Amino acid sequence: MANAAGAGGAQQADVAVVGAGFAGLYLLHRLRKAGFSAIGLESGNDVGGTWYWNRYPGARCDIQTSDYSYTWDPELEKAWTWSEKYATQPEILRYLGFVADRYDLRRDIRFGTTVSAATWDDGTQRWLLTTSSGAPVSCRYYVMASGCLSAPKPPEIEGFKDFKGEVYFTGRWPHEKVDFTGKRVAVIGTGSSAIQSIPLIAQQAAHLTVFQRTPNFALPAHNGPSPADRVEMLQKDIPAFREQARWSMAGVPLPPATDFSWQLSDAERRERFEKAWAAGDLVVMLTQLWADQAVDVDGNTLVADLLREKVRAVVKDPETAEALTPRDHPFGSKRPCLDTGYYATYNRPNVTLVNLRREPIKSITASGIKTDSRTVDVDAIVFATGFDAMTGAITAVHPISGRGGKSIAEAWEHGPQTYLGLTVAGFPNLFMITGPGSPSVLSNMMVSIEQHVDWITDRLVALREAGFTTIEATDTAQAGWQRHNADCSMITLHRLANTWYTGANVPGKPQGVMPYTGGVGPYRGICNEVVERGMLGFRLTGANGAEQCNDGEIVRLQPDVRLVLNLLASMNLPPLESFGAQGARDFLTQFNATRPAGRPVGEVVDGTLPGTDGPLPYRLYRPSTPGPHPIVVYFHGGGWVLGDEQSDDPLCRDLCRRTGMAFVSVGYRHAPEHRFPTAAEDSYAALCWIAGHAAELGGRPGPVSVAGWSAGGNMAAVTCQMARDRGGPQIAGQLLICPVTDCTFDRPSYVDNATGYFLTRSLMYWFWDLYCSPADRTDPRVSPLRGKLAGLPPAMVVTCEFDPLRDEGVAYAEAMAAEGVPVEQLKARGHFHSSFAMVDVVITGVGGRVQMARALRRFAGLPVEETPTRQDNTAQRPIQAAAAGAAD
């Protein structure tokens, strides 16, 4: 309980919490239990937050209620039973009232009170809050539990004030019953709120006119009792169910689909889709169809097309059906909706849809709404026009002034900047629950709210125990978090739509994906890691000059690379070199069998070609476009010891599709059976044969290009030197991906990345030892950096930040450039040695592979702007942006 009086008449509290919704109530409970005095400030006259304000007809949750409940007290879970799969707003509000009573929370909340200003005082190291009623509040910590969708967007339509009829906002619905019987009603907007309310308003109104700017994807809720399988799953082991949700991607315990769309037949895809449609569950439709549905435009289009069919199947008038069909954004990139009879409503004779894309609203008049081509007179207008989401409740409601008097609105002038979505540099002791930069609205809010409340409360307890009184994010940590968020947003498709997630719905708002798209489980892991690493990225201060600042960035790896490395670490594998050569090969075969199968290309042909000492296998990948195609001779990775012409199959397929060029992957012989210079000589012999038999392979005669990854990059570099020195063949260009170029092991990347990034320094030592005796190591056929570099073909050299081989790749690129060779470098930030080979696993590698494909096309004299397939998730946005995401 906060003290009633204090210095200057302010009410004193350890913590002030704005908002008495799900977040505020749980926070007040936890703070009280932890022995802090706390005061809740709530503008509504009762608890409920979003469920207090959003009372419009049809308002329900659209995450199954079994998942949309508090989980912090097992007794509470037993004490409340939801009546439906998706509870109504009144039932959810009753639940929150029940919780407030059960834990006696109302006594700490000042209702009907808004904060008019919050100011940090550096002298007292406290926040001072002025409020619309009651005494000001002085608190050590200030927490915004004010919700992500709680600041309704003002109606920015001209003439709004002239309207003489009734006006309603879905987000500020009156408490009294609203009766539309016999009235002409307009609804503006077709987001979740509109889609829930339109069918019910249509049942009452004499006529309903819906003004739609952008159609949304909507699925039937199939509401009713909670599905039996779900109830059974929950009841069988409630703690396990909840724990699984906490570590999932979306906060609902559903492991994501693992099959890729191209591995399924049309019939199999339709079957999955219809099952998801029947489930009536957004999370099922968003995550359970195929692995590429949320990360790849092509995989997503397959879902979107099936959803579009459903609109046409219900809505009888073809023009209305077309207007209701979303075509401008991938499914899930904008918040999809759950509906009950939404599309069928448009078959009613008393409902009209006005397509604002065809006839925009010009103004609101005294009697109705005027578009470019008609005036619709109405008795009531319902604004279902949404919210100034995520930042609105923090910047637009009251000024929050931090260190030096700077307001948060100023600090976020170009978009929200946070550390973990929880704190803001320059604003000590300020926390946000589910703020921008946290998973919040992209997750089951209940899971995210509880995680934030627990994290904050636990930190406050730890600060108290350690004698610290302030906590503040550092600039470095915050900048790193922004970068990590931007990296995450390159994985999903949210950035491809104009939505409230990106700020696009509010005129003039800075744009960018605001929620964290990396998933609630990984996010939880990161928040825990911040603590384990000594409050990394936070400055803590206390009495008598006590200070602790463990500065740094919490995530420097690309998000998917981090997941891959964490997974590998959790497997606790013995070092690869401990298996011996054959054991390591067997391991690689097994490892490769578990990876996503590469995507289809036009044709794959296996064959042999004559090597220096007998036949060598090759695998030819032909594009689906008519040939002949320019040829790329490809050399696989594996440290001259492992792999074969098929082991980089997904990468070859990917580059074949992106370039529209034929790839011939060569099976050169390996050490220790065949030591240096066998691999180099085999590779050169294969290159000569392929170049000489291009037409036979369906290739375009003329110079071929070479490409390779890792030791294959070494082969590609070496064969270019051999071809130059031995009179051919002519090479158009070389793509060297994380190549071995030199036998020196003391460059910084060998030290910095010696362990922890899969390719280790000791594994490289082993490869070198098996392939090449010390006396041979400076030979340019294995250390091309030691060779003559002038006169080599144009090159693209790709290096990864967290790769022992990084610096020798960069050295090779620089040395070639110094000798006049045209060189393009891609320095992939946050990537590791295998990033670009792990196609469809390391999604953030897409941008880099797009850049590589462009280089290969340029080498071959093909137009680089042409994209032969639409297979990557960057297809709808400039490719450069994707590439920039992966590279410095």
Return residues touching ligand NAP (CB under 6 A): 60-62, 149, 156-157, 170, 188-194, 196, 213-214, 335, 356, 361, 384-387, 441, 500, 505
Rounded (5°) CA angle 138-130-472: 50
Q: Please say which residue, 443 or 478, places its beta carbon nearer to ligand NAP.
A: 443
Name the residue among 61, 383, 388, 336 with its Cα closest to residue 210. Answer: 383
Supply the minimum distance, in Å, between the C-beta of residue 326 and ligand NAP.
10
Q: Please say which residue, 500 or 802, places its beta carbon nearer to ligand NAP.
A: 500
β-pairing verdict for 631-635 and 662-666: parallel
Name the residue among 31, 88, 76, 340 with its Cα closest to residue 196. Answer: 340
List Cα–Cα distances, 812 to 589, 819, 834, in angstroms: 31, 11, 19
List Cα–Cα distances, 708 to 740, 748, 835, 856, in angstroms: 10, 23, 14, 12
Supply the minimum distance, in Å, between the C-beta of residue 499 and ligand NAP.
7
Three-state SS for 136-153 is CEEEEEEEECCCCCCCEC
Q: Please say which residue, 426 or 439, places its beta carbon nearer to ligand NAP.
A: 439
Supply the minimum distance, in Å, between the C-beta of residue 734 and ligand NAP.
48
Residue nearest to ligand NAP (CB): 191
Name the residue among 80, 99, 87 with its Cα closest to residue 21. Answer: 99
Distance between CA atoms of residues 624 and 621, nearest Å: 10
Q: Please say which residue, 359 or 752, places its beta carbon nearer to ligand NAP.
A: 359
Are 2 and 30 spatial neighbours (Cβ–Cβ below 8 Å)?
Answer: no
Q: Please say which residue, 293 or 444, places its beta carbon nearer to ligand NAP.
A: 444
Q: Please say which residue, 196 or 320, places its beta carbon nearer to ligand NAP.
A: 196
Q: Please say which residue, 218 or 685, places its beta carbon nearer to ligand NAP.
A: 218
563 Cβ contact partners less than 8 Å away, ≥ 6 residues apart: 522
- The tokens describing 348, both together, are 């009613």
Q: Please say which residue, 190 or 683, places its beta carbon nearer to ligand NAP.
A: 190
Supply the minimum distance, in Å, between the C-beta of residue 289 and ligand NAP.
21
Supply the minimum distance, in Å, between the C-beta of residue 181 and ligand NAP.
24
Name the residue among 153, 517, 503, 198 with its Cα closest to residue 332. Answer: 517
Quote the strand ranges of 487-554, DSSP E.
Answer: 538-542, 547-549
Q: Please say which residue, 500 or 689, places its beta carbon nearer to ligand NAP.
A: 500
Return the residue matching tokens 């190591």: 777
For 600, half-sphere exposure in the C-beta direction (CA atoms, 13 angstrom radius) is: 9
Supply the minimum distance, in Å, between the C-beta of residue 60 and ligand NAP.
5
Supply the minimum distance, in Å, between the C-beta of residue 195 and ligand NAP.
7
Name the residue among 524, 522, 514 with its Cα closest to residue 494. Answer: 514
Supply the minimum distance, in Å, between the C-beta of residue 93 and ligand NAP.
13
Supply the minimum distance, in Å, between the C-beta of residue 22 and ligand NAP.
12
Q: Please say which residue, 320 or 429, places its beta carbon nearer to ligand NAP.
A: 320
Q: Please say which residue, 10 or 157, places its beta carbon nearer to ligand NAP.
A: 157
Q: Please say which residue, 138 or 150, places its beta carbon nearer to ligand NAP.
A: 150
Cβ-count burial 111-130 (b if 16+ within 10 Å, e if not):
eebebeebbbeeeeebbbbb
Helix/strand/coil for 682? helix
Supply the minimum distance, in Å, between the C-beta of residue 153 and ligand NAP.
6
Supply the minimum distance, in Å, between the C-beta of residue 621 and ligand NAP.
42
Phi (first) and psi of residue 810, to 5 degrees: -60, -40
The H or E element that residue 12 is part of is strand 11-18
Supply the minimum distance, in Å, between the C-beta of residue 314 and ligand NAP.
19
Distance between CA atoms of residues 287 and 563, nearest Å: 18
Supply the minimum distance, in Å, between the C-beta of residue 197 and ligand NAP.
9
Quote the strand ranges of 399-452, DSSP E.
Answer: 400-401, 430-432
Q: What one-character-per-residue DSSP string does 774-838 give?
A: GGGTTSTTT-GGGS--TTPPPEEEEEEEE-TTHHHHHHHHHHHHHTT--EEEEEEEEEETTTTTS
Q: Please say which residue, 157 or 717, places its beta carbon nearer to ligand NAP.
A: 157
